[in-house]
C-alpha cells in the first residue's frame, strides 16, 4: 500500500490506532533516519494491521471511523505518525506525544542530508529545503521551489540534479509499504492484544506495565487516560509517580500480588480496582504527610511500600484505629529508611503481601519480616554518619523535624507537619557554613554531613547566612529559649566553636538517633519490642552521594524542567542505586533515568554533579551511563536523543 494511501486512510477514518497502543515516543534522530531511509529507497519494514468492524473497534483520538472494515495499526504507529506529521504538517487525531520531534525537518539539496532547522546554520542558504513545505506544495508547487534555487554559474549546472532530488523527496509518498493483516472472526481482542504484545516486546520496547495496560484496554479502553489523570492530580500535589507504580497498587488491590500477570483474570474489575486503589493512595499520602511530615516528592522515600499499604487498607474495609494506623506508618518509614524496595521491588512487595495475608499474618508479621530481613530496626548514631541530601537518612531528618517539636530559629514557631500549610517546604540549613568549613580544610563530605543539616524557613535561612554557630546560637537561645535543643543541638557552648566541629557532629548524631527511636516508639504506642538493637553499621561504601546543596537541587530541577519541555520523562532526583539482591545502598545519583530517557529504548543514564573522577568507575558496574555535568548531559540529549545540530 502506498504511503499516500495510508495517510488518506487515516484522514478518512479507514485506518486508526487501537486504544491499547501507548503514545508517540520517537526522537528526532529516529524521525530523520526514517525519512533519510525512504529518500534513499532503503527498506523500512512492513506494517501490521488488524482489520475489524469499525462499529466495535476501540480506537484512539476523537475522529469518527469510516463505516465497514477499519484497519487498526498494531505495528508501525511510530513510522506512520512521523510520516503523517511531516507530510500533513500536523499530528494525526490519535496523536499523544511531543509534536516538536517531527517539526522543522530540512533537506540539503547539495549534499542530500537531513537536519532539523538551525537558524545560524541554514539562514541564507537556499539549498536547505523545508521538507513539510515541499510535501504540502506537492508536484504542482515544485516550480516555486525551483525558482528559488541559486542562479549563480556554480549552481546553474546543478539545477537539473536539484530538481531530481526534489522529485525523489516528493516521491516518498508513492513508496509502497508491505502491509500484513490480522483478520478473521476468530481474532478476538484478547488474541490481537497478545499478538501486539509479542510484536512490541521484542527489544523491550514496552515496560511490563505498558504490556499489562494493553490487555486491560480490551475491557476498559480509557484505562490509560484515567490513570494519567490520577497521576496528574498527585503531581500537582507534589508527588511524581508513574503508570507502573499506580498499576502495581491496582494490582495489589485486585489480586494481592505484585506481578502484573495476575491481572489477566481481573480485567473486568479494573475500574473498581482503580477507584479503590486511588482512594487508598490518597489516604496513604495524607497519613504520611500529616503524621510523618513527608509532604513532597523530594523526601518521599520508600514509595514502593504504598502498594502494600493500599492492600492492607482495602482488606481492612474500614477506617484504621490509631494503633493500626501508626504501626503501618512505622513500617512504611522503616522500610524506606533501610531501603526495603531499592533492590528487587516485585519480590519484596510479594513477600510483604504474603506476610500480611498468611493465616498467622498481619501487621506484626509484616514488622517481624522487616526486622529479620534487616537484622534490627533501632536507629544508632552512626546511621547519621552519612552525608548529602541523597542519603537515606535525609528524609528521616526531615521527618523528625516535622513530627517532633522542632522550632524555627527566627520566629520560634513549631515546624510540625501542616503547621506551615499543605505541602509547605522547608529549606536545608548548614549549621556550620560550608564556606567556613572549607577554609579550615574540612572535606566536602564532612561539610555536607547529615548531622550538619537542619530545616528552617527560607527567611530564617537567609537571615543567618554564613555566620558561625558560636556567633548566632547565643542570639537564638536568648530570643527563643529551647529552640536550639528542639533541633537537637548540643547545649554545650564549647561544641559550637568550629574547631570542635567533629565533636559537635558526634554529639548531634547521638541526639538525632535518640529522637528517631523516641519518635518510632510514639508510632508503636510504647511497644518498643520492635526496636531491638540493629546490627553494626556497615562502612559507607557508596562512592557518589547525591545532591549536597540547595543550589545543586535547583540546577537539577531546572534540568528536569528542560527535559520535560522536550517531551521526555522527568528524572529521579537523588536516585538510590542499590544492590539488586540485598538492597544495600551503593551510591546516590543526583538525577537518574533508570529506564532510560526513552523507557525501554535507551539505556539508563544519570547525572552526578561535583563528584570526583573515580565516580565514573561505577558506570560499568551499575549499567548506567554517567555524566559529570549538566552541560555534558544536555549535549548527550541533544545529539543522541533529540539530534539537534550545533549552531
Q: Which residues contact 188 (CB under 8 A, 6 or more apart)?
A: none
DSSP state of 319: P
Among all chains, which residue has been given the C-alpha cell 534540568?
A: 559
Q: Which residues contact 66 (CB under 8 A, 6 or more apart)?
A: 12, 13, 14, 54
The pLDDT tens digits for 445-493 are 889 899 999 999 988 988 998 899 999 999 999 999 999 999 999 999 9
CA 273 to chain centre: 24
- Inter-CA distances, 224 with 23, 81, 240, 430, 640, Å: 10, 20, 17, 44, 29
What is the b/e burial string over 329-356, where b = at least 16 CB atoms within 10 angstroms of the residue's CB? Answer: bbbbbbbbbbbbbbbbbeebbbbbbebb
Give the model's pLDDT for residue 366. 94
Question: Which pLDDT band, with edges at 50, 70 and 90, does 208 fall under?
Answer: low
- Distance from C-alpha of 123 to C-alpha of 388, rounded to nearest angstrom: 47
Compute, in degrees rounded to 10, the torsion defined by CA atoms 581, 587, 592, 596.
Answer: -40
- Inter-CA distances, 288 with 245, 331, 423, Å: 17, 11, 12
Q: Which residue has the higher pLDDT, 252 or 596?
A: 252
Q: Does residue 195 lie in a domain region?
A: no
Q: Does residue 164 lie in a domain region?
A: yes
Q: 61-65, 104-108, 381-385 — which one is most confidently predicted on average?
A: 104-108
Do 252 and 345 fall into the same domain?
Answer: yes
Question: Which pLDDT band, with edges at 50, 70 and 90, does 164 fall under?
Answer: very high
Length of the chain counted residue by residue? 647
Give the model's pLDDT for residue 421. 45
Mean pLDDT of the 269-278 span: 93
Q: Which residue has the higher pLDDT, 544 or 313?
A: 313
Of the given ranges (62-76, 325-339, 357-371, 605-619), which has the lowest mean pLDDT?
A: 605-619
Question: Which pLDDT band, with edges at 50, 70 and 90, does 643 fall under?
Answer: low
- Distance from C-alpha of 226 to C-alpha of 9, rounded to nearest angstrom: 29
- Distance from C-alpha of 393 to C-alpha of 407, rounded to nearest angstrom: 20
Whether the CB-CB separation of 626 and 614 falls below 8 Å is answered with no
CA 534 to chain centre: 33
- Distance from C-alpha of 485 to C-alpha of 81, rounded to nearest angstrom: 62
- Distance from C-alpha of 475 to C-alpha of 506, rounded to nearest angstrom: 24
Do 260 and 360 fall into the same domain?
Answer: yes
Give the closest residue to 169 by CA, choosing from 206, 131, 115, 199: 131
Whether the CB-CB separation of 605 and 573 falls below 8 Å is answered with no
Q: Does residue 428 lie in a domain region?
A: yes
Do 102 and 222 fall into the same domain?
Answer: no
Q: Which residue has the higher pLDDT, 174 or 55?
A: 174
What is the b/e burial string over 145-164, where b = at least 16 CB atoms within 10 angstroms of the residue's CB? Answer: beeebbeeeeeeebeeebbe
Q: Does residue 332 lie in a domain region?
A: yes
Would the pLDDT of 521 be above 80?
yes
User: pTM of the prediction?
Assistant: 0.73
Q: 74-88, 153-167, 189-203, 586-600 — which one is most confidently predicted on average?
A: 74-88
Question: Which pLDDT band, with edges at 50, 70 and 90, does 53 fall under?
Answer: confident
Q: Does residue 112 lie in a domain region?
A: yes
Specify the DSSP element, H or E, that contains 181. Answer: strand 179-182
Give the model's pLDDT for residue 310. 97
Mean pLDDT of the 53-70 span: 79
Tell me the three cell numbers of residue 587.
551510591
Do 144 and 252 fall into the same domain?
Answer: no
Would the pLDDT of 333 be above 90?
yes
Give the model's pLDDT for residue 101. 83
Would the pLDDT of 253 be above 90?
yes
Do 318 and 457 fall into the same domain?
Answer: no
Give the model's pLDDT for residue 536. 61
Q: Which domain holds residue 25?
A: 3-174
Output helix, strand, coil percentages for the chain, rounded to the nearest 5.
Answer: 55, 10, 35
Tell me the three cell numbers of residue 445.
563530605
The pLDDT tens digits for 565-623 are 877 888 888 787 877 666 677 778 888 888 788 765 678 899 988 776 666 677 777 78
Do 399 and 268 fall into the same domain?
Answer: no
Would the pLDDT of 246 be above 90?
yes
Do 508 and 625 fall into the same domain?
Answer: no
Would the pLDDT of 207 be above 70?
no
Give the model's pLDDT for residue 48. 87
Do 19 and 162 fall into the same domain?
Answer: yes
- If DSSP codes are grouped into helix, strand and coil, which group holds residue 602? coil
Q: What is the DSSP pairing of strand 128-130 with strand 572-578?
A: unpaired
Where does a domain end: 337, 358, 374? 374
Q: How many CB atoms lie within 10 A of CB 593?
A: 24
Give the model's pLDDT for residue 564. 82
Where does a domain end: 127, 155, 174? 174
Do 36 and 61 fall into the same domain?
Answer: yes
What is the percent of the chain with per-residue pLDDT over 90, rounded to a whole number?
A: 44
Of the given ranges (106-115, 519-528, 602-611), which has the lowest mean pLDDT?
A: 602-611
Specify the DSSP element, H or E, that contains 47. Answer: strand 47-53
Do 211 and 346 fall into the same domain?
Answer: yes
Q: What is the DSSP pairing of strand 179-182 with strand 47-53?
A: parallel
Give the model's pLDDT for residue 223. 85
Give the model's pLDDT for residue 321. 95
DSSP state of 125: -
Would the pLDDT of 232 be above 70?
yes
Give the model's pLDDT for residue 256. 92
Q: Which residue has the higher pLDDT, 98 or 307?
A: 307
Summary mean pLDDT of the chain: 85
Q: Does residue 572 lie in a domain region?
A: yes
Do 157 and 213 fall into the same domain?
Answer: no
The total number of structural domains that make up the chain: 4
Q: Which residue has the higher pLDDT, 448 or 185?
A: 448
Question: Which pLDDT band, with edges at 50, 70 and 90, does 276 fall under?
Answer: very high
Question: Which pLDDT band, with edges at 50, 70 and 90, does 519 fall under?
Answer: very high
Question: Which pLDDT band, with edges at 50, 70 and 90, does 255 fall under?
Answer: very high
Helical pair 501-523 and 322-337, crossing angle rounded to 10 deg = 140
Q: Does residue 540 lie in a domain region?
A: no
Of the given ranges (281-290, 339-348, 422-431), which has the lowest mean pLDDT?
A: 422-431
Do 524 and 561 fall into the same domain?
Answer: no
Amino acid at each position: 500500500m502506498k504511503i499516500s494511501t495510508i495517510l488518506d486512510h487515516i484522514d478518512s477514518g479507514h485506518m486508526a490506532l487501537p486504544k491499547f497502543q501507548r503514545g508517540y515516543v520517537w526522537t528526532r534522530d529516529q524521525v530523520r533516519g526514517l525519512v533519510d531511509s525512504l529518500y534513499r529507497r532503503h527498506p523500512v519494514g512492513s506494517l501490521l494491521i488488524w482489520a475489524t468492524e469499525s462499529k466495535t473497534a476501540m480506537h484512539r483520538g476523537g475522529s469518527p471511523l469510516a463505516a465497514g472494515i477499519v484497519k487498526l495499526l498494531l505495528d508501525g504507529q511510530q513510522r506512520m505518525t512521523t510520516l503523517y506529521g511531516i507530510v500533513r504538517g500536523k499530528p494525526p487525531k490519535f496523536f499523544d506525544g511531543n509534536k516538536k520531534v517531527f517539526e522543522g525537518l530540512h533537506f540539503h539539496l547539495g549534499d542530500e542530508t537531513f537536519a532539523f532547522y538551525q537558524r545560524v546554520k541554514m539562514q541564507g542558504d537556499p539549498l536547505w529545503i523545508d521538507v513539510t513545505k515541499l510535501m504540502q506544495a506537492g508536484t504542482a508547487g515544485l516550480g516555486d521551489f525551483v525558482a528559488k534555487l541559486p542562479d549563480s554559474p556554480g549552481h546553474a549546472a546543478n539545477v537539473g540534479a536539484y530538481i531530481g532530488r526534489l522529485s525523489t523527496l516528493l516521491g516518498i509518498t508513492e513508496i509502497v509499504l508491505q502491509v500484513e493483516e490480522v483478520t478473521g472472526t476468530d481474532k478476538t481482542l484478547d488474541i490481537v492484544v497478545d499478538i501486539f504484545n509479542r510484536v512490541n516486546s521484542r527489544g523491550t520496547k514496552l515496560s511490563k506495565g505498558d504490556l499489562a495496560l494493553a490487555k486491560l484496554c480490551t475491557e476498559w479502553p480509557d484505562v490509560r487516560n484515567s490513570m494519567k489523570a490520577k497521576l496528574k492530580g498527585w503531581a500537582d500535589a507534589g508527588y511524581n509517580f508513574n503508570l507502573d507504580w499506580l498499576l502495581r497498587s491496582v494490582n495489589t488491590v485486585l489480586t494481592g500480588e505484585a506481578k502484573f500477570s495476575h491481572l489477566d483474570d481481573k480485567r473486568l474489575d479494573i475500574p473498581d480496582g482503580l477507584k479503590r486503589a486511588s482512594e487508598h493512595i490518597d489516604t496513604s499520602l495524607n497519613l504520611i504527610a500529616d503524621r510523618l511530615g513527608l509532604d513532597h516528592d523530594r523526601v518521599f522515600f520508600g514509595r514502593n511500600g504504598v502498594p502494600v499499604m493500599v492492600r492492607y487498607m482495602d482488606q481492612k474495609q474500614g477506617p484504621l484505629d490509631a494503633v493500626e494506623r501508626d504501626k503501618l506508618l512505622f513500617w512504611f518509614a522503616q522500610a524506606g529508611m533501610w531501603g526495603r524496595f531499592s533492590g528487587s521491588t516485585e519480590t519484596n512487595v510479594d513477600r510483604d503481601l504474603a506476610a500480611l495475608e498468611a493465616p498467622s499474618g498481619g501487621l506484626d508479621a509484616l514488622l517481624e519480616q522487616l526486622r529479620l530481613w534487616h537484622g534490627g530496626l533501632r536507629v544508632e548514631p552512626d546511621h547519621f554518619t552519612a552525608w548529602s541530601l541523597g542519603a537515606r537518612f535525609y528524609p528521616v531528618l526531615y521527618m523528625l523535624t516535622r513530627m517532633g517539636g522542632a522550632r524555627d530559629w527566627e520566629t520560634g514557631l513549631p515546624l510540625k507537619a501542616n503547621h506551615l500549610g499543605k505541602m509547605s517546604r522547608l529549606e536545608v540549613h548548614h549549621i556550620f557554613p560550608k564556606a567556613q568549613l572549607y577554609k579550615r580544610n574540612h572535606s566536602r563530605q564532612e561539610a555536607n554531613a547529615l548531622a550538619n543539616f537542619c530545616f528552617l524557613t527560607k527567611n530564617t535561612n537567609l537571615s543567618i547566612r554564613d555566620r558561625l554557630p558560636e556567633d548566632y546560637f547565643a542570639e537564638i537561645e536568648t530570643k527563643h529559649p529551647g529552640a536550639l535543643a528542639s533541633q537537637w543541638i548540643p547545649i554545650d557552648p564549647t561544641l559550637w566553636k568550629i574547631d570542635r566541629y567533629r565533636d559537635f557532629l558526634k554529639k548531634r548524631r547521638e541526639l538525632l538517633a535518640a529522637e528517631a527511636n523516641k519518635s518510632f516508639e510514639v508510632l508503636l504506642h510504647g511497644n518498643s519490642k520492635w526496636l531491638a538493637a540493629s546490627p553494626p553499621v556497615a562502612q559507607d561504601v557508596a562512592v557518589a552521594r547525591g545532591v549536597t546543596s540547595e543550589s545543586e537541587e535547583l540546577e537539577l530541577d531546572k534540568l528536569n524542567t528542560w527535559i520535560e519541555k522536550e517531551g521526555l520523562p522527568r528524572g529521579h532526583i537523588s536516585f538510590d542505586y542499590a544492590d539488586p539482591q540485598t538492597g544495600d545502598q551503593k551510591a546516590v545519583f543526583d538525577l537518574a533515568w533508570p529506564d532510560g530517557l526513552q523507557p525501554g529504548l535507551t539505556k539508563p543514564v544519570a547525572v552526578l554533579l561535583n563528584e570526583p573522577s573515580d565516580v565514573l568507575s561505577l558506570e560499568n558496574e551499575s549499567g548506567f551511563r554517567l555524566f559529570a555535568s549538566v552541560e555534558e548531559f544536555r549535549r548527550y540529549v541533544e545529539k543522541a536523543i533529540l539530534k539537534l545540530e550545533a549552531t
